Structure 1
Amino acid sequence: MELHGGPADGQLLDVTGWSLEELAGGALLATSTGVRGPGGRWDYVPARRPVHWDGDTP
């Protein structure tokens, strides 16, 4: 799945083996370079195609 917007724009996320339920929930990707610093997460949501960045979380 290709990620759009935010810090991971254009990167591919391997979702092989993810269930439909997991795909519907989006992805919180661990990062050390997020707005919230080390240990934060990038939030990508599948609200529309393609999957878009929805901000950082602590």
Structure 2
Amino acid sequence: MDETEFMRGRVYGADHEDAAPRPGRTYAELVGGPLDGLLLDITGRGETDLREGIPLRTEIGRYGTGGRALYIPRPEDARRFDWHGDSP
């Protein structure tokens, strides 16, 4: 199993030993970029986040440790967030 396949279906920010989705939570799929295939728990997120996007910390993006990857929800499908670039 390669790294991409291993990461699919895992929840962003969850402990590696317990990264499966939890019942009763709402998730969006991250599409493209360094976090492609991960699920983002959007339960309780504000409308601004769900409209304008969310910068997520990642060490595997363009800027390494401390960098962020910006994911913005698709207008036609708010359960999929597309990557829109990295920032320091």
Q: TM-score range by the shorter chain?
A: 0.7 to 0.9
| Counterpart among 11, 32, 40 of residue 5 in structure 1 | 32
In the alignment, structure 1 residue 57 sits paired with structure 2 residue 49: no
Shift of 1:46: 1.8
How far apart are the structure 2 equivalents of 1:38 and 1:28?
A: 14
What is the total number of aligned residue pairs between the two structures?
Answer: 58
Q: What RMSD over aligned residues (CA atoms) do the two structures have, in Å? A: 1.3
Task: Structure 2: give runs of 5+ residues left out of the alignment.
Answer: 1-27
Q: Percent identity?
A: 47
> What CA distance in whole angstroms lies between the structure 2 residues aligned with 1:57 and 1:22?
17
- Structure showing greater radius of gyration is 2
Greater share of helix: 2
Unaligned runs of 5+ in 1: none
| Structure 1 outlier segments of 4+, above 3 Å | none
* TM-score, structure 2 as length reference: 0.59
- The TM-score normalised by the length of structure 1 is 0.84
